[in-house]
Structure 1
């Protein structure tokens, strides 16, 4: 469906539907594994023009949805998009590719090898102007107060983002390991394009190679098993590696930036939506929004993955330990 729009969403708010379509066509870009990529030249032309726009103060106060994919980040973004102060961008990686040439992790827009870790040193004057100029354009066109940007991998780039923005907020969304792993593996298999060598792991496995080269060697759980992990090929094993790396990073960021990173479980979001969303509102300095809460009650429902996804034994200890740290019981 275009821009994640459902009949229920459209009937709920025509103005918010307009904002989603605006974001979809002119800000987000169409990545690998998706249709409509022919429109990307128009999107990039628009973004390059917008990147020099005058910056407005509220553009410096975004909210990021981070974590792993297949953890409910899209539905959380769509729920937050109903909030009267927020304009939602669903993985606007075209913006970030315009701003920084090493952003692209899966090869959608650039042949330049991307980097998971971007630091404050990477946020030079040009990068800041481009991002804030584009965000400011989005807010002017939508009339919203703040941007909510869903980009799961930004959990690895908080120092970079802190150098661009004024203490942005991060929702670290996580989900039970077995369900996340099985959902990721299924998505990758279902969206595999053999002719273009595209799936969850990017064009010609680019994202997976970056994970092996940039993340695994510095992770205390996986670095000792790097040689074995380099040989993993099953979708569930690769998804498990990504879950371990992302959860470990998220836990570290929670400790390092407690006033900026809010942990939210998929389970609490879908079973106790009102309390969880009000907690997000308070943490992000947003007003309460009854319309958003009412919409959430209609669309947030638990979705079970396959708890029997097979994962290599060498990965099980890390999954178990991180699950306990996140509050899951054995």
Structure 2
């Protein structure tokens, strides 16, 4: 879903007048407040257009205005505005923005949280030994969910069943607010003995088999004293020294995706609003920040979305490379996304050998054919899918070439 042309202020004025008239004609409740919201929207659109006009630099600013309009006016009054041509016009411009999410309860998620709440009240337990835990480190939208779901089929693997955002950032000292939202970067200095011990305990509370059996749900005598832990959270790509300090035996799988494909997918993710990392973040002029918070993000104010995504890609991959090269070669393994897609059996077998994960018939059958599409995939993978954003991405690729060449050499050596 590419960036769509922005309507000029004169058209917005006409649409706002139509919406105001429709609400008054339908005797919508609180029409006065709605009129005030619409007037504010109109004035802010004028100011934003004066600053950005129809350039891509203003994409996030326009998105903010449309998101606020949707929340404050369009959704609360959808009963009275369902036949409004003005709404249809605005929604056509909102095509690059995800529709409002359903408010219906997710009963499966609520049941899971209830079970987890009971486990959180468990006290006096011993943490298992995390033997050579495996951390997938990669950019978001680089295939880490697909790789995680595939490796989860190995026998005797334990996970927490989700990404570790809450486990890690639920600790005040590890939340980016503790460092004025400078980034998601954590180093060995952040892994104090108390922090490390507490974090291992928090992971233990959520440990489960790949069939969903909670570790703490087992009788104490039946809990294994040693576990093979598998984890993937894209933000952890910025935390390799920290994870190494907390889990001294940690192994890392570096999953890499070529910049054009990865940056395009990041742009798609920003526009979808499904990967919001932080809202109303100090120092960021927009409502939402998506994906991981990279060092130096303050310099991205008023930059086009493609440049923001490219900066996330470049900074994260550079830090992964820098951090992993401080570790022995036996502690990390390189995987190219293309190899994962095109030659899954060979790629997963190499990981099995690296991480000492026992191969079995289930893994053989799974990798003998194309891997199933990940649950977080927007659309079926295709090498040229990035070209929908080519006009924005292509000018940025030469600046990434030095890093791409370093990583290409790494792929050859691996």
TM-score by length of 1: 0.69
Correspondent of 1:266 among 316, 337, 342: 337
1:327 offset after TM fit, Å? 2.0
CA contact (8 A) 2:183 2:295 kept: no
The structure with more radius of gyration? 2
Is the 1:254–1:263 Cα contact (8 Å) retained in structure 2? no
What does 1:156-167 correspond to in 2, within 5 Å? 156-167=238-249
Residue 315 to residue 286, structure 1, CA distance change in 2 (3 Å): same
Q: In structure 2, do the counterparts of structure 1 residues 287 and 312 end up closer, same or farther at CA, with 3 Å as the change threshold? A: closer
Match of 1:284 in 2: 355
2:241–2:323 contact (8 Å) kept in structure 1:
no
* Corresponding position of 1:92: 164
Task: Indicate the residue corresponding to 1:183 in structure 2.
Answer: 265
Q: Which moved more, 1:118-127 or 1:239-248?
A: 118-127
List gaps (5 residues or longer) in structure 2: 1-100, 209-214, 374-379
Q: Secondary structure at the match of 1:167?
A: coil
- Corresponding pairs, count: 275
- The answer as to 2:360 corresponding to 1:318 is no
- Runs of 5+ consecutive residues of structure 1 not aligned to the other structure: 1-32, 193-198, 218-225
Could you say if the C-alpha distance between residues 50 and 261 of structure 1 is closer, same or farther in structure 2, counting changes exceeding 3 Å?
farther
Cα offsets for 1:138-180 (capped at 9, x unmatched): 2535878312111112122122112211220111111111111
**CA shift digits 1:204-250 (9 cap, x unpaired):** 366859988x6138xxxxxxxx85x443142x221111111111112
Q: Measured at CA, do residues 51 and 135 of structure 1 come closer, stay the same or move farther in structure 2, by a change above 3 Å?
A: farther
- Could you give the per-residue CA deviations for residues 268-320 of structure 1, whole angstroms, max 9, x where no partner exists? 11111111111111211222233123223352578123235244788433322
RMSD: 3.7
Find the counterpart in structure 2 of residue 245 from structure 1.
Answer: 315
**Counterparts of 1:167 and 1:69, CA distance in 2:** 24
Of 113, 124, 144, 1:73 maps to: 144
Aligned mates of 1:67, 1:123 — CA distance in 2: 21
1:270 and 1:300 in contact (8 A); partners too = no
Separation in structure 1 between the aligned mates of residue 123 and residue 336 of structure 2, nearest angstrom: 34
Per the alignment, residue 135 of structure 2 pairs with 64
Matched residues in 1 for 2:139 and 2:387: separation?
Answer: 17
Cα distance, 1:287–1:164 mapped onto 2, change above 3 Å: same
Correspondence list, 1:93-172, <5 A: 93-98=165-170, 100-104=171-175, 113=181, 115-137=183-205, 138=207, 140=215, 141=217, 145-172=227-254
Question: Which of residues 381, 391, 395 in structure 2 aligns to 1:303?
Answer: 381
SS of residue paired to 2:231: strand
Q: Give the SS at the match of 2:229.
A: strand
Report the TM-score, using the length of structure 2 for normalisation.
0.57
